[in-house]
Structure 1
Amino acid sequence: MAKPTFSTPDLTTFCRLDTLDLTCIGQHITGHKAILECRPNTADDWCRRCGGHGIVRDTVVRQLAHEPFGHRPTTLHIRLRRYKCVECGRVWRQDTTAAAPPRAKISRTGLDWALRALVIDHDTVSVIAAKLAVSWHTANSAVLAEGQRLLINDPTRFDGVSVIGVDEHVWRHTRRGDKYVTVIIDLTPISEGTGSARLLDMVAGRSKQVFKQGLKDRPKEWREGIDVVAMDGFSGFKTASAEELPDAVEVMDPFHVVKLAGDALDEVRRRVQQETTGHRGRAKDPLYRARRTLHTGSSLLTTKQQERIANLFADPNFTEVEVTWAVYQDIVSAYRTTYRKEGKRLLQTVIDALTTNLPSELVELKRLGRTLKRRAADVLAFFTRPRTSNGPTEAINGRLEHLRGSALGFRNLTHYIARCLLESGGFRPVLHSQLR
């Protein structure tokens, strides 16, 4: 700002009291709090029952938590006149609904600040309550209700969704009650390259019926607009998607395909370990020492790691591990190819090889082959649907884990779903645009 223009200091404007139809008439500042004495701008001296004129009877003070300025919690002391109607005797006080709803304890601008702190700055409710100088329950109830009204209940929130991801999520680690929920993620911005994924919905439970009911609750027009569903290997999600979204393409995430191959590699390594040594892996056992190296992509192996792999497979007792490791590397290489058509061809070759004339001794590979053949269409669909992955779904799951850790756990699932939607529902751009 080269040539700023300064106006007369005005505490009413600085503290945004003019938006609440209030005027600041005094202040009291201590080291721990700030109190602003205010009065309404509107007289409100006529009776709403008979239309008669009211005379001043006395004054009362209404206290409201306000957005903090600096490090001190700010409280509004609104001095209200009480009137008595000269005609019918009715008694009322000045209207302050512009400042806060009836019986509310937080002003409208304070509530707006708290919602932004929760969604944009990722503050916990405890921190927000401390900055507003109210109880945790007061802050939590008010902020969740405002977030539900302003953001979560927005009818346009589900518009424009064409690609979704689905996954399970553990919302609490207790022995009582169902600890799983099914999360539905909007992957459309990722697919179109316009933004990041966002949490769309969260349904209690983890099953085919839960996901199916979550889809059934949405309008038919919305379901018909879904083109792609990204998911893991859980067959329940696959069946529910096929029944409720018959025109959508199911895509099995590459991470889970590689994980299936990695699990097969671990299983055969443990089995061969037991067969050759008679005990579980120990620090000096070759197979145990190479357990992490076996999961490293061949193109990323260092010289030392390549020598370790070569020395390991020089032992004829480890032939089954070598064959499984080769299949694992082929699957990884298929996903790392530059050209998708080539990657699809390589992965199709692996699936065909695992389901044709495979030796019966390779139990783990035969099981892997049956799984990949059953989900072959979903696995290969990744190569025809660019930018479709369940990776962003897993990323949002990680953000929800962080949220639960910051809040030291949740006991109320309704509160947890609301907090998760505010945390990862993609509302930050909405609030930023309102700031401008």
Structure 2
Amino acid sequence: MRVDPWDTGFVDLSGDQGLLGQVEGRTSGAVADWLDAQTEQFRTKITHVVIEPSAAYAAAVTTEVLPNAQVVIDHFHLVKLANDAVTAVRRRVTFDTHGRRGRKHDPEWANRRRLLSARERLSDKSFAKMWNALTDNDPTGQILTACIAKEELRQLFSAAHDNVDDAEVRRRLYRFHTWWGKSPGVVGFR
């Protein structure tokens, strides 16, 4: 009888071998057992392990099984966490402002999908509509601050994906880190 509906897949990210293995469950034990079953030569060649943000996966990898491997969180899940943060800020600001959940006539609710979209996927008109509605209706600027931080994070990841030079990656990382300490300037895009 199967209890855990999830599987864990082991994939070669260099692209040479594809799916290396799959086990039932999402536990550190399942991951560690699969890694232990591999040869010592196989395990010593592993320098980086890309995981989703999971304590179980991190625990399995950072134990004695792969003590020298660098653990990296994949960018898809980090962007998802950033989008979740934007949603949490939007909900909190809406409740603080109106004392209730968002409704369809509230600009922050009406723009919820635009807030989660990548900037380059929005037309200039759609972006300006969202930006101006939130500028006019969120005096704290917290929703746009969260949205801009999410976009800065995406820009950082795109730099790494596009193999730009290290100086540019560091510049984008600095821009991302310093954004959190700033409040957004109120700029219109009408």
Of 276, 299, 302, which residue of structure 1 is paired with 2:97? 276
Opposite residue 277 of structure 1, the aligned amino acid is: H
Q: Which structure: greater strand fraction?
A: 1
2-structure distance, mates of 1:238, 1:246: 11
Q: Which structure: greater helix fraction?
A: 2
Pairing 1:319–2:141 present: yes
Q: Following TM superposition, by how much is the alpha carbon of 1:262 offset from its aligned partner in structure 2, in angstroms?
A: 0.8
Opposite residue 186 of structure 1, the aligned amino acid is: D
Opposite residue 184 of structure 1, the aligned amino acid is: F
> Which residue of structure 1 lines up, in the alignment, with residue 77 of structure 2?
256
> Which residue of structure 1 lines up, in the alignment, with residue 176 of structure 2?
350
Shift of the 237–345 alpha-carbon distance from structure 1 to 2, 3 Å rule, reads farther
**Contact kept? 1:312, 1:318, Cα under 8 Å:** no
Q: Following TM superposition, by how much is the alpha carbon of 1:358 offset from its aligned partner in structure 2, in angstroms?
A: 8.2
Shift of the 180–347 alpha-carbon distance from structure 1 to 2, 3 Å rule, reads same
Q: Following TM superposition, by how much is the alpha carbon of 1:353 offset from its aligned partner in structure 2, in angstroms?
A: 5.5
**Contact kept? 2:107, 2:133, Cα under 8 Å:** no
2-structure distance, mates of 1:340, 1:231: 25
> Which residue of structure 2 lines up, in the alignment, with residue 107 of structure 1?
none
Of 333, 336, 340, which residue of structure 1 is paired with 2:158? 336
> Which residue of structure 2 lines up, in the alignment, with residue 230 of structure 1?
50
> Which residue of structure 2 lines up, in the alignment, with residue 182 of structure 1?
8
1-structure distance, mates of 2:178, 2:128: 31
Q: Following TM superposition, by how much is the alpha carbon of 1:324 offset from its aligned partner in structure 2, in angstroms?
A: 1.0
2-structure distance, mates of 1:346, 1:333: 7
How many residues were matched structurally? 177
2-structure distance, mates of 1:187, 1:216: 20
2-structure distance, mates of 1:300, 1:328: 14
TM-score of the pair, normalised by structure 1: 0.37
Q: Following TM superposition, by how much is the alpha carbon of 1:334 offset from its aligned partner in structure 2, in angstroms?
A: 1.6
1:338-371 CA distances to partner (integer Å, 9 max, x unpaired)?
41521344225424664xx689xxxxxxxxxxxx
Opposite residue 334 of structure 1, the aligned amino acid is: L
Q: Give the 3-state SS of the residue equivalent to 1:199 in structure 2.
A: strand
Shift of the 209–344 alpha-carbon distance from structure 1 to 2, 3 Å rule, reads farther
Q: Following TM superposition, by how much is the alpha carbon of 1:216 offset from its aligned partner in structure 2, in angstroms?
A: 1.2
Of 34, 40, 43, which residue of structure 2 is paired with 1:220? 40
Unaligned runs of 5+ in 2: 184-190
Provide the identity percentage.
28
Opposite residue 148 of structure 2, the aligned amino acid is: A
Q: Give the 3-state SS of the residue equivalent to 1:317 in structure 2.
A: coil
Q: Give the 3-state SS of the residue equivalent to 1:314 in structure 2.
A: helix
Which has the higher Rg, Structure 1 or Structure 2? 1
Query: RMSD in angstroms over aligned alpha carbons?
Result: 2.5
> Which residue of structure 2 lines up, in the alignment, with residue 201 of structure 1?
21
Comparing 297-306 with 320-329, greater Cα deviation is found at 297-306
1:384-418 CA distances to partner (integer Å, 9 max, x unpaired)?
xxxxxxxxxxxxxxxxxxxxxxxxxxxxxxxxxxx
Q: Give the 3-state SS of the residue equivalent to 2:141 in structure 1.
A: helix
> Which residue of structure 2 lines up, in the alignment, with residue 303 of structure 1?
124
> Which residue of structure 2 lines up, in the alignment, with residue 383 of structure 1?
none
The list of structure 1 runs, each at least 4 consecutive aligned residues, that deviate by more than 6 angstroms after superposition, is none
**Contact kept? 2:79, 2:154, Cα under 8 Å:** yes
2-structure distance, mates of 1:276, 1:353: 24
Unaligned runs of 5+ in 1: 1-173, 360-436
Opposite residue 158 of structure 2, the aligned amino acid is: R
Q: Following TM superposition, by how much is the alpha carbon of 1:318 offset from its aligned partner in structure 2, in angstroms?
A: 4.7
